[in-house]
Each structure stands twice: as C-alpha cells, then as structure tokens.
C-alpha cells in the first residue's frame, strides 16, 4: 500500500546533494509512470511544497512506491544504465 504523498524534484537541490555529499548522502526515488524518478521533496498529498526557494521545483507525481540508496550507489547504477 502506497502512502498518499506528492513528490517534487529540484535539479538545483539535487546537484547540491551530489556535489556536497561525496557519496555519503541518500538519494530518494519514487516509482512514477513505470520508472524510478529521483525526488527531492515528499509531502502529504495536496499540501504545498516546503522548499520553493530553489526556484526550479517541479511536481513529478503522487502515491508512489519509494526507495532510497547512497549517492555513490545511485551514481554507479546510473552509469551502468548508460552503457
């Protein structure tokens, strides 16, 4: 059963995570439209996003299965997908 949440993504927030983390931070993904998509904010469905300061926050979907992984593992997964 999925939690009733809305998911948002900010490229600026995500870039900050990747640059500052050195592989120690967690990357969160939601299964939306039959693919895993990175999200930077998860809030209760219908509420306003909290981090509008980035200026590039976009809504990516609702009510999705989620997973988390270390940034270094996520980057390795992305590299293997591109080969």
Structure confidence at residue 79 as a pLDDT band (50, 70, 90): confident
Residue-level pLDDT at 6: 94
pLDDT for 63 beyond 60: yes
Confirm if 47 and 1 have CB atoms less than 8 A apart.
no
On the question of pLDDT at 37 being above 90, the answer is yes
Domain ranges, residue 70: 5-82
Residues recorded for the chain:
83
**What pTM value is reported for the model?**
0.80
Count up the domains in the chain and report the number. 1
Pairing of strands 26-32, 66-70: antiparallel
Residue 29 pLDDT exceeds 90: yes
């Amino acid at each position: 059963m999925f939690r009733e949440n809305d998911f948002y993504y900010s490229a600026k927030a995500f870039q900050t995570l990747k640059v500052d983390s050195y592989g120690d931070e967690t990357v969160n993904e939601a299964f939306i439209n039959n693919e895993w998509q990175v999200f930077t904010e998860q809030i209760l469905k219908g509420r306003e996003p909290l981090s509008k300061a980035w200026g590039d926050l976009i809504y990516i979907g609702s009510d999705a299965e989620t997973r988390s992984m270390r940034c270094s593992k996520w980057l390795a997964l992305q590299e293997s997908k591109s080969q």
